[in-house]
Structure 1
Amino acid sequence: MICSFTNQSGISRGEVTSEEYEQELKGFGFDRVYLCPHQHHEECRCRKPSIGMLLQAAKENNLDLKDCVVIGDRWTDMLAASEVGCLKILVITGAGKEALNKYQNHEYFGQWSMVSPDFVARDFQEAANWVLSR
């Protein structure tokens, strides 16, 4: 099963609907889509780096998160994955290159600095190949 979990504050700002995001992500091949529509200042329990969406996916799909892999391009993905025990892959597409640079330059502090990816991939295909080769 392949799930997407994504912060999309544009939903709460009325710029796009959750249905549009879900349709787009399912078009990429995701089986289930978990969206956080909240903005940063709302302090919800689902917005990454919080683990709400991961816990919801685990419950709804009977997943043991310690057997799951999170592939993401943001450090918030790595933090959420780390907190629940998932394998963490940072892809350097999208925001991933900036996140990796900040990590390598020790620009993260507190809990952000305590997390490191298990693998850094050029893109999603390399990440998927790495997972399949394990």
Structure 2
Amino acid sequence: MKSSIEAVFIDRDGTIGGTGHFIHPNNFSLFPFTLEAIQKLKSFRMKVFAFTNQYRISRGDATYEEFEKQFRTFGFDDSFICPHEINENCICRKPNIGMLLEAARKYNLDLNKCVVIGDVGDTDMLAAHRVNAMKILVRTGWGNESLGQYRSNWLETSPDYIAENLLDAVEWISRQ
């Protein structure tokens, strides 16, 4: 399957590092395995994109450019960032699919041949489900809570794989 996967979209908070809560890009720490996981995906000749809701941008707590710079530093090919508050009713805020559609247009992607990796069922997994992308939920960040007390928020879908962390997700992709 890895040869047919065109791109992998990876959530930020709780998936590549941090705690699942907002941390300013200047203070954000990656999990020890994250850079290895990103490089491994790139070695498969897949596009690797950051895919994140960051409403703190709209509040002035950080800038879009600070996030973009951070993602470039980490090795992402591009970043798709929703800067809007929850109540702004935008089309990009996960679980909406605006960021995925933007990436598909920009890179001529078939979203059926893409993977979404994230730690939140009712945002990351639902967005992936809505475009028929492969869904991998990681147990880091909010992952365990998504599978437990918040599972009722996203009953309409199930992950294709539940990974311990991002590196486990990437290793699973490599075996497909």
TM-score range (shorter-chain normalised) is over 0.9
Shift of 1:74: 0.9
- Which residue is 1:18 aligned to? 64
- How many percent of aligned residue pairs carry the same amino acid? 51
Matched letter for residue 101 of structure 1: G
Matched, 1:118 2:160: yes
Across the two proteins, how many residue pairs are aligned to each other? 129
Structure 2: gaps spanning 5 or more residues: 1-46
Post-superposition Cα deviations, 1:17-36, rounded to whole Å, max 9, x if no partner, equal 01111111222221010000
Post-superposition Cα deviations, 1:77-134, rounded to whole Å, max 9, x if no partner, equal 000000101000001111112111135xx532xxx21111000001000000101110
SS in 2 for 1:10: helix
1:15-94 equivalent positions in 2, closer than 5 A: 15-75=61-121, 76-94=123-141
Report 1 or 2 for greater relative contact order, CA contacts < 8 Å, sequence distance ≥ 6: 2
Q: Tell me the C-alpha RMSD between the 2 structures.
A: 1.0
